[in-house]
Every structure is written in structure tokens, then in C-alpha cells.
A and B are shown apart, each in its own frame.
Chain A
Amino acid sequence: MFHSKVFPFSAIVGQENLKLCLILNAINPGIGGVLIRGEKGTAKSTTVRGLADILPPPFSLVTLPLNATEDRVTGGMDFNRAIKEGKKILQPGVLAEAHQGILYVDEINLLDDHIVDIILDAAASGMNRVEREGISFCHPASFMLVGTMNPEEGDLRPQLLDRFGLCVEVVSEKDPELRVILMEERERYDQDPDQYRSVHGKENQTLAEIIKQAGLLLPRVKITKPSRAFIAELCSTNNVAGHRCDIVLEQAAKAHAAWLGHTEVTLDDIGIVAGFALFHRKRDAAPPPPPEPPQPDKDELDKDQPDKNQDDNEQNEDPEQTGQENPGPPDKEEPGQEGIDKEPGEMETPDKNQENAPETGGDKNPQDPEQVFEVGASFQVKKISSPKDRKMRRGSGRRSRSRVSQKQGRYVKSSMKRINNDVALDATLRAAAPFQAARDIPQGLMVCLKPEDIREKIREKRMGNFLVFLVDASGSMGARGRMAASKGAILSLLLDAYQKRDRVAMVSFRKSEAWVNLPPTSSIELAASYLKEMPVGGRTPLSAGLEKTHQLVNNALNRDPGTRPIVLIITDGKSNVALGENKPVDEALMFASKMGEDDRVKYIVVDTESQGIVTFGLAPKIAAAMGADCCKIDDLKAEALVGLARASA
């Protein structure tokens, strides 16, 4: 609408890969867009806006707001004309505005999945089909899709990743000289934007001209059979799924050739663009996730990767590595430090634990010394969510679907109940239609609407849950590296909880009592630091733990009945301290079945008992009593789920 001034594209320091990817897409829209992955403050938006600024007029930049609703994206009924002229006409949405331009989606991984689906569908087909609110409409929508994401905030689903033609990783410049130049340019711009823009106007024009010429040359660029074979080979050695990668690579290579002004694709062209097409598609022989940047500081995220996990496991089996010598939690790790220290993600050696554990780990000895175990390897967690219900909620987050009482989320149906003036125009008109003949229609309008006609939208969206961790911290958990593995699992769940914007609480039990280590909070950081320091030792008062959790959850439900608690019980189930007169195990089972009666709460029991000759199988019994799912730590892993699906396919 109004043009805020744009930093000139040609004056942007560094980010050559990003610039190249954008230019190639401008030359050849057939490439299918760019996904920009990377940290904050690396000129992602500036570069995209800068490019849009130099492209010829029909090329406009449309930014999708983070809070856009479905009707805003696809377009909805034009109510002015519906009422004034009595016509059903589509008011164009973001997709129509972006036609023949750039659609820029900042933080695409934070958008509602169904909106991402709509956008990618339109991007792939070049058409926007609207079949909603009583309108059926179709209009061309071919645009260059540019998305940005910060992987810390959660990844995109692989299907969605694949839809982006190219993917480029941006990092900040490490060369001080470049950083200084960058600051200088920025200051110069800020001091007098207009002056600065006019200084760089010429370079921008030259660049725009080259892009235009390359676009004209593109149809004449040829690709030879050996070059195609090279592309095919690249794709197959990187184990990409499907053929989209081959096609994208060919288009990108052609654009690159045109960019350099030749009419035949060379192997160099292919080599240069291959990285961008393969980045998000290449897979190891095993399951798919995209490779994380090899940054030492993001190691913990790297643990999500299967190959990395394997490394860890290897390390864990390495008897040289002693964990026991690390008394208590290590000093706070310094963030900038290049992973020299042992990372919290690295698992304690189970072997060593085992050596010490048999004496200390036995539940019989109440004089157990307390120990603090390291946090084990973390991993990508599979999807956990509560079942759908009909309750209206307010809130935000990204875990479970719920009806919402705010103007957000997907319009699923309409209702006569008036809550928030979120009018469903289609339903309102339909409700009013039968009475039009009998009503006096006001001057200048075609329809007469009365308050009783008005229908409101019922919407649905994802929301965060309340995750309660009930952690068994008794001596038996110390054995066989169970605690390290459990802590790793909890840490993984916490990372997941951050991305889904959950609230968390933590209860632990050992010796003869249970404690609320962490009252309900949104501070996942706090939870993680408590987890790191959680001591282990003593007997197993499971029923006390259950009772405490029950209290905590009930309090939360009393305060806000809309809360959806998910309780994760991490234990081997070997209860040996009772609150009352009954046998400890019986008492725990009794509590469990009582707690299971409340269907507002979802329980998941994570059984930490390792497979052996003698297993007690008590955790599954508790789970059965609760009507809860029971799983092993490994079952929580996202890869396990993929593996399962594969096996059944």
C-alpha cells in the first residue's frame, strides 16, 4: 500500500547464495520458489524486498501476515457487493494479489498447516480454487513463493519442504571485515535513505536489465542428454524421493545458464545449483529429515538426525567414556563455546553406570547415595495430542486441535450463537434469503438483514497443551543408564513442548515422597535446568507421585476448565512404598484406575524397564489400569513411527 523504503538489492553485503537463488527464480519462475532457512537478522527479508523492488512493475511483493485466515488467503465473498448489489462475487485474497509477483511468507513453519497446504497447492498448480462459503471460483495464481524459517522453531513437514524448488541456508558473515562493511553501509543508508538509494540506483538497473535479458534468453537454453544424465545421477546418489528434484534441478540449471548468458547448460551450471535443490531433499539411505546445518552450537538439534543418533549410540557403547566422574551437573555451559565440553545431549555411558548401579540401584537399600545423572541423547518426538472435543477455548499453541472462541483458525461451520461478531457471511445470507420477499429492503441495498439472521463462524485451530511429567527418581532408575535415557527423552519432549507452545510442570518421586519440582509454567528453560539437576536415589513411592500429579492436574483444571492436560509418567512401575496399608503395587494400581476415570486428562506411561531375562512388566499394568497408552522410550521417537509405517506399507 505505502512503500516503506527498501534497502537496495545491489548494496546488500554478502548472502551471495540467497541472492543467486532469488535471481534464478526471477529468471525462471518454473523453479518453484525458495525456502530460506537460517538464523535471525541475516537480511532475509531485506534481500527479498530488495529483489522485488528492482523487478519490473507487474512483479509485486505480497507479504502474508502471520495471522492470516483462510478466507484472507484464498479470497472470500465480497460483502459490500453481496448486500448492495445482491451478487455473489469473490473478493480477491492474498493469492490473487500475488499473481505474477512474489508471495513472501515469513516464518512459514509457524503458519497453520492448512494454510501452508493451500499456498503450496496454488504455487504448484498456478491456480487458486475456492470452494467455500457457497462460492466456487477459480483464478490463475502463479507466483514465486519465498518462505523463511528458523529451524529452532520447528521444522516443516517433508512433503511441504519438497514443494519448494530451492532451499538456501543463510548464516551471518564470519569475516570481521565484511561485518564492518555491512555496518557502514547500513549506517549510510539510515542517515539518508533516498540519497543512498539514488547512489545505488544504477547498479540496481543494470542488474534488473541482466535479469530481464536472461528471462528472454531462457526459452532458447538447451540441455544435452549427458547433462540430464548427470542430474539424474546426482538425484539418485542423494536418495531423493520422487522426480521433482530432477525437474527443479534442470530448470535451475537452465536459469543459471541464461543468467551467465549462454544457451547451453554446462556441468558447472548444474554443479552450482545442485546444492540448493538437494539441500532439503537429500536423504541418507534411511529415513528422510533434511540435513541440519553443521553448526556446533546447534548440536542438540542435530541429535534429531538419525545418523547423529547413531554416533551417540556408538559413543555410549564406548567404555572409555566415563560419566560417573562427573559429580552433579556440570557448570553452566557457555553458549558460544564450540562444543569442546561435553554436551548435555551426550549420553552417560550405560556400561559404567551399570558397574556402580547394582549395589546402589537395588530398591532394597534405602540408604542409597543420591546421584545426578547426565541428560541422555535427545531425539525428535513423535506426535502426541489430546483427542478432539467440542469445548470452546481461547489460546494459542500448536499441539491439539480445538474449537476456538476467537477469530483465528479454520472456519469449520456456522452457528446462531453470538459470541464475537465473527460473522459467517454465507450462512447469514442463506438464513436471510427466505424472508427477503416479506421484508422492506433499505434504500441502496439489495438484501435486508436482521439481527436474527446473523450467523457466526465456528473455528478450529491447534492449541498448546499442559504437559505434566511424572518422573520416577528412585534408585532403580539409576541402573543401566535408565535415568540418562529418561532425561534425554524428557528433554526431547520439552523441546517439542517449546515448539508447540505448551505449558509444562514436573513432579518427581523418590525415597518416601513426591515433590512438585516445577509448578506449571511456560518456562521450558526452567524445566530443562531442573531436569539436569534432578537427583536419583532411594525407594519408589509411585502412589505418592500419582497422588501429587492428580492434585496438580486437578488444580489446573479447576482454575481453567479449558486446560487439556497430558500426563507423561516415566517409570519402571516398581512401586515399593505405599501411602496407606495396602501393598505398594496394589495401591498404585488402585490410584491409577481412579485417575483414569477422568477423561479430560490424557495419560501416557513411558516404561523404562529394559528388556532382560526377568522383567516385571509393572508399568504396562499401571497403564492398563489408567486406560493409558504404554510405550518404551524408543517408541516416542518420530523415526520409530516412520519405521512402523514403512514396515506396514
Chain B
Amino acid sequence: MEKREIFPFTAIVGQEQMKLALILNVINPALSGVLIRGEKGTAKSTAVRALAEILPQIEVIKRCPFRLQASETGEICKKCVVGDCPSSRDMDCVPETCMAAIKVIELPVGATEDRVVGTMDLEHALKKGEKRVDPGILAAAHRGILYVDEVNLLDDHVVDVLLDSAAMGVNTIEREGVSFSHPARFTLVGTMNPEEGELRPQLLDRFGLCVSIEGAHDPEERVAVMERRAEFDDDPKAFCQRWQEESRALSNKIERGISLYPRVTIERPLLFEIASFCLDVGVDGHRGDIIILKTAKTLAAYHGRTEVTSQDVAHGAELALPHRIRRKPLQEVASDVNALRNQNRKGKAV
């Protein structure tokens, strides 16, 4: 079967905040995800799916169903009840590794808990007296991107499972006295239309960044959207080829960002700026501070700098804070963080 072409990430018109948020997460997985809030038909899903094309490669163990890295083997491999990789039988062997692209795994809204967590084939166990595990979506998403469309419509107990593994980086398959755990650390990317209901605060907090998007208002931009789409539908292959150059340039920029990140520094006054930003707008806890800092550093790395600027901090706050601002019960998520801050400051000055 011929590979279906995906609309290239770089060819998406506008939606700069969303694209940036996604790129930053690729450069620095510690940002722990993006929540994309917005109306229907704003290229949310297209962007996330297209991300796969520009993702860098990581080292994984060959044939490992959990896509472990070399440092993660050991205890888990001894108990592994799935794979047929040599390390599950022979503890002394040095596992073979290979390079593989980071994956984007989609979690469908209707997914059952079994599908997400993984299942134990109980009937098999009853008949043969041995365990057999079928790993779920969380196993596949380890070290990759877990994409949840309409994340606000997920069943509550699937949300619980997501929260558990997001918090601990571990997923546990448990049925009838059998328990098997494997690492599950992923970048959580969710999209939602706020009109259909809000997220629970804890889940909201798990998303590092949050962007609100809407359709373009500029007619010219709208026309550009239509044109590109038509071009793509006409001849996907040729279209993708035309954008190949740009995609490669972006991949390179991302890779440079990744290698630059550890060397990025920030001056202390800017840390105070971050703290006062969070205090001014009123956020719960300290995760906001930490995420702004990481976002600002990632931004600097992305732009090829090793020094964080105050613009990076302001931009980082814009991405990291909207969903963290303390709200009265039943109040909606803030849209403009900087405006809110100025307003609050004015309020205090008076």
C-alpha cells in the first residue's frame, strides 16, 4: 500500500502560537504537553498529526514493545510478559538498540480503559495458568507524543489513568491479582472545544502549555488556507515535495535547539520577573513558575541563543499560564495573560 501523505507541518497557514507550542514540546519534553483550545476546523488535528514528520529520532531497544531506552532495562525485562526481545530471557546480554522516530500515538475519545492501560488475557490465563499481556496505548506512547482529540470528552476513569501515569511516569496493568508495570512517560497533547465542557483542574494542570486558537479573520489568510488545501488535495505527493525543503529546515532548527538547550542560561532578575508574573496574575502552586522558566529557555534555544531574554519570559508566560490562573468556581479560562497582569497591577496600584 502506498503511504498516505500527511499535510506538511510547515505548510499550515497561521496558527503560529499553536505551532510554536508544539515545536517547543518537541525540543524539550519536560514541558509536558500542550492543550489546544479552540473551535472546530482550525487545523488542530492536522498540526498534531503533521508533527510526526519533523520529529527527531531516539534510541530504542530493538523489538521492545515498550520502546525502552537502554538505561531503563533490567527489573522490568525480567518480568516482561509480552516481548520476545533477547533481554527478556537473557539478563546478561547487552540489549541491541536502534534509532527510531518519536511516534505520535492517538488516543480515541471512545477508548476503553482496557485499551488505554493494556489488558491481561484472563481466559488464556485461566486455561493455561500463565499470564499474557497485551500492552495498551500508554505503552505505545512511552517517550512519544500522546494525542487526545476532544480531551474534555474523555471518560472520567480514562482521565484517572492518564493522570496516574502522567504523575508517576509509570503505567500499571492490573487484573485479578496480576500486576505488571512499565514506564509510560509521554508528551500529552490535547485538543478541546471549551463549549463542550471544561477539563478537571488536575488534568488541566498536567498540560505544560495552553494555547487558544480561532479561525483566521483576515480574508487573505483564509484564501491562503483554501488554496493550500486545494493544492494538497490535487496532488499530495507533489505538494509535500514542494514543502520538503522547509520541513527539513525546521527539523534542523529543532535539532539545533535540542543540542543548545542544556547550555541556555538565565539571569537572576529574570527569575524574579517570572515569580512576580505568577504572583501578579495569581496561579495555583509553583508549576507555573517552573514551566515558564523552561519555556523561556526552550524559546531561547529554538531561536539559537544561549541567553534568555525578557521577551522569552513574557512569551513563555503567555504559553504557560492561561490555564493555570486561579479562577472562581465556574469561571472560564483566561485568554490574555499579559493584559490580565497589567490590569491586576493597576488594580493594586490604586
| Residues of chain A at the chain B interface (Cβ within 8 Å) | 1-2, 4, 39-43, 45, 63, 65-69, 71-72, 75-80, 83-84, 91, 106-107, 110, 150, 152-153, 172-174, 176, 179-180, 182-184, 186-187, 190-191, 297, 299-301, 333-337, 340, 343-344, 394-397, 406-408, 420-421, 423, 425, 428, 442, 444-445, 449, 451, 454, 464, 491, 494-495, 498, 501, 521-529
Contacts and interface: CB of A to CB of B under 8 A. Distances in A.
A521 B125 CA distance: 42
B202 A40 contact: yes
A404 to B, nearest CB: 10
A300 B183 CA distance: 40
Contacts, number: 230
B201 A77 contact: no
A335 B75 CA distance: 48
A307 to B, nearest CB: 19
A420 B153 CA distance: 23
A84 B279 contact: no
B272 A176 contact: yes
A135 B72 CA distance: 38
Contacts of A152: 201, 329
Contacts of A43: 285-286
A84 B286 contact: no
B235 interface: no
Contacts of B344: 334, 336-337
B288 interface: yes
Contacts of B128: 442, 445
Given A79-B176, A182-B289, A423-B126, A528 B330 contact: yes
B302 to A, nearest CB: 18
B106 interface: no
Given A334-B343, A449-B127, A522-B196, A297 B285 contact: no
Interface of B: 30, 72, 74-76, 112-114, 119, 122-123, 125-131, 152-153, 155-157, 160-161, 163-164, 167-170, 172, 174-179, 181, 183, 194-198, 200-202, 205, 262, 268, 271-272, 274-276, 278-290, 293, 324-332, 334, 340, 343-344, 347
Contact of A297 (B119, B282, B289, B347): B282
B201 A179 contact: no
B76 A42 contact: no
A462 to B, nearest CB: 10
14 contacts: A1-B76, A72-B174, A75-B177, A76-B177, A173-B286, A183-B275, A297-B326, A333-B331, A335-B331, A336-B280, A444-B129, A445-B128, A495-B330, A524-B198
A406 B163 contact: no
B345 to A, nearest CB: 10
Given A2-B183, A180-B272, A335 B327 contact: yes
Contact of B113 (A75, A191, A406): A406
Given A41-B284, A524-B197, A4 B169 contact: yes
Nearest to B333: A525
Contacts of B198: 522-525
Contacts of A71: 176-177
Contact of B284 (A2, A40, A425): A40
A522 B272 CA distance: 39
B70 to A, nearest CB: 14
Contacts of A334: 340, 343-344, 347
Contacts of A187: 293
A67 B272 contact: no
Contacts of B76: 1-2
Nearest to A523: B197
Contacts of A153: 200-202
Contact of A336 (B75, B325, B329): B325
Contacts of A344: 328
Nearest to B265: A187
A121 B195 CA distance: 42
A183 B75 contact: no
A79 to B, nearest CB: 6
A396 B167 CA distance: 21
B22 to A, nearest CB: 21
A71 B76 CA distance: 24
Given A4-B168, A41-B324, A83-B129, 6 more contacts: A68-B174, A180-B268, A335-B328, A343-B328, A454-B126, A522-B198
A35 B205 CA distance: 21
Contacts of B286: 41-43, 172-173, 179, 182-183
Q: Which A-B residue pairs are the 9 nearest by beta carbons?
A: A41-B285, A522-B197, A396-B156, A336-B282, A41-B287, A91-B177, A528-B330, A39-B284, A179-B275
Contact of A65 (B172, B293, B331): B172
A340 B285 contact: no
A335 B123 contact: no
B30 A66 contact: no
A501 to B, nearest CB: 6
Interface centre among B282, B328, B334 (most CB of A within 10 A): B328
A174 B112 CA distance: 42
A186 B266 CA distance: 14
Contacts of A4: 168-170
Contacts of B285: 39-43, 172
B167 A106 contact: yes
A183 B181 contact: no
Contacts of A445: 128-129
Contacts of A498: 329-330
A453 B174 CA distance: 23
Contact of A525 (B72, B279, B325, B332): B332
B329 A301 contact: yes
A115 to B, nearest CB: 12
A386 to B, nearest CB: 18
A525 B156 contact: no
A396 B157 contact: yes
Nearest to A397: B156
A408 B328 CA distance: 32
Contact of A524 (B175, B274, B280, B330): B330
B262 to A, nearest CB: 7
Given A334-B340, A408-B113, A491-B330, A40 B177 contact: no
Contacts of B113: 67, 406-408
Contacts of B179: 72
Given A186-B290, A523-B197, A2 B75 contact: yes
Given A2-B76, A150-B201, A83 B126 contact: yes
A384 to B, nearest CB: 18
A421 B168 CA distance: 28
Contacts of B131: 80
B219 to A, nearest CB: 30
A78 B127 CA distance: 14
Given A179-B278, A335-B334, A300 B72 contact: no
Contacts of A78: 177
A37 to B, nearest CB: 13
Given A2-B75, A71-B177, A334-B340, A525 B331 contact: yes
Interface centre among B112, B126, B168, B262 (most CB of A within 10 A): B126
A95 to B, nearest CB: 13
B328 A333 contact: yes
A66 B161 CA distance: 7
Given A40-B202, A172-B284, A423 B168 contact: no
B34 to A, nearest CB: 17
A40 B172 contact: no
Nearest to A339: B328
Contacts of A464: 156
Contacts of B340: 334-336
A442 B282 CA distance: 66
Nearest to A522: B197
A67 B197 contact: no
Interface centre among A494, A495, A528 (most CB of B within 10 A): A528
Contacts of B290: 182-183, 186
Interface centre among B202, B205, B281 (most CB of A within 10 A): B202
Contacts of A425: 126, 176
